[in-house]
């Protein structure tokens, strides 16, 4: 499932984040790439321990915790601290699949990358190119969202970023370990949750709403790893 999540950050949060990110120290993004990915990666990143990365990352995680659409789709168990990348002057990232396991910086804790997320900090009209191309069962999906919006997609996906030929593409990227390991199960639970909410809004307290909620939670009990 590939899902666009609008307005993760509001305009005030975006302005604060952009000021911090624009003033940060950027380094070669190859430093955090695996052996295969480093061959096709050309961008800049902020080191994970940089104060700006930590401050904006915490802002993003707090906002996600208050976002019903994200919580319903991801059913998160752990969120890797957000990282930040910048593309300009023809920079791009060729086809790759994200690593399956990542270590949370500064800890011994490891995280399974069930879901990948990209949160945009620049509007589409601010740069040419820079589309995130995600390959899924039905072909390639091109993603280039307004600032403050985010795309959530399976960590198993082959994906790339096309060359940025004008302006600057600025994004946050990170991974989520879900309570639900399999993408197909997460997709079913998301659809069921959305339907349950609609029925509950239209028929508050109805037997159908209660039954749907019961089925939803019983499936989580069946599939969840916590």
pTM for the model stands at: 0.95
Q: Domains in the chain, start-ordered, CATH in brackets?
A: 3-178 (2.60.120.620), 183-223 (4.10.860)
Question: What stretches in the chain show pLDDT beneath 70?
Answer: none
Q: Following DSSP, what letter does each residue of the chain receive, concatenated?
A: --EEE--SS-HHHHHHHHHHHHTS--EEGGGG--TTGGGTEE-EE--TTSHHHHHHHHHHHHHHHT-HHHHHHH-EEEEPPPEEEEEETT-EEEEE---SEEEPTTSS-EEE--EEEEEE-S-GGGEEE--EEEEETTEEEEE-PPTT-EEEEETT--EEE--EEEEEEEEEEEEEEESS--HHHHHHHHHHHHHHHHHHHHSTT-HHHHHHHHHHHHHHHHH---
pLDDT of res. 120 = 98
pLDDT of residue 205: 87
Predicted local confidence at residue 209, as pLDDT: 92
């Amino acid at each position: 499932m590939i899902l666009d999540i609008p307005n993760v950050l509001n305009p005030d949060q975006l302005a604060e984040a952009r000021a911090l990110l624009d003033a940060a120290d950027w380094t070669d993004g190859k430093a955090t790439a695996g052996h295969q990915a480093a061959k096709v990666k050309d961008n800049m990143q902020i080191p994970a321990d940089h104060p700006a990365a930590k401050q904006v990352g915490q802002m993003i995680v707090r906002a996600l915790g208050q976002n019903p659409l994200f919580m319903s789709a991801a059913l998160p168990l752990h969120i890797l601290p957000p990282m930040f990348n910048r593309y300009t002057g023809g920079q791009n990232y060729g086809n790759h699949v994200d690593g399956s396991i990542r270590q949370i910086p500064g800890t011994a804790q490891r995280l399974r990358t069930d879901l990948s997320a990209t949160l945009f900090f620049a509007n589409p009209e601010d740069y040419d190119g820079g589309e995130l191309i995600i390959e899924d069962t039905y072909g390639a999906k091109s993603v280039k969202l307004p600032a403050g919006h985010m795309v959530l997609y399976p960590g198993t996906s082959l994906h790339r970023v096309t060359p940025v030929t004008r302006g600057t593409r600025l994004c946050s990227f990170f991974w989520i370990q879900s309570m639900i390991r399999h993408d197909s199960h997460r997709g079913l639970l998301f659809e069921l949750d959305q339907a349950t909410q609609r029925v509950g809004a239209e028929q508050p307290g109805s037997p159908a709403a209660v039954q749907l909620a019961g089925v939803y939670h019983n499936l989580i009990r069946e599939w969840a790893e916590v």
